[in-house]
Amino acid sequence: MSLVLIIIGIFLILELSNVLIMYLKPGSTKANAVGVFTAWEKSKQDPEVHNFVKYLVWWVAGTKLIFISLMVVILFFADPITQSFAIIALLLSTATFYVKLFPLIRSMDRESQLVTKGYSKMIGVMIFIFILAFILAYLVSAGYIVDFIVF
């Protein structure tokens, strides 16, 4: 099994855990659910706002589910070239986190709008590690680095 397939598989498992928690327990502080935001509990005070927030959470979960489904098809049925391009797509789309989301969540963290202090740093590091893994997987798939994982 190639490093590309391993990295895509790990990413899919993490994303699936996000979808499950967002659908089943959106108020959780685990697996990137919205319970980490103090606004989640505040939204419950206004049913209209809370319904809107739940709608957006489930919209994101549904979008992730579409994405996961496409990645499963790529994982199991695509040729190595398509899988390499999928890694590039994952790399670029994941990196967009730092354009709008990271500055916002870092600001929210500073203003104590998150239940877990330092959450922005943790999520920023986690996403950076995935970006590095995507780069490594691409370099291996492109032949720049010998694939050192053979199953």
What's the rounded Cα separation, in Å, for the pair 79 and 82? 5
Statement: residue 148 has pLDDT above 80: no
What's the rounded Cα separation, in Å, for the pair 115 and 39? 9
Q: Three-state SS string across 108-127, please?
A: HHHCCCECCCCHHHHHHHHH
Mean pLDDT confidence for 26-50: 94
Residue 37 φ then ψ, to 5° = -90, 130
Read off the pLDDT of residues 57-76 as tens digits, 9 standing for 90 and up: 999 999 999 999 999 999 99
Domain parsing of the chain, residue ranges: 3-141
Residue 151 is predicted with a pLDDT of: 47
Dihedral sign for Cα 131, 134, 138, 139, please: positive
The fraction of the chain above a pLDDT of 90, given in percent, is 87
User: Tokens 């579409």 map to which residue?
Assistant: 66
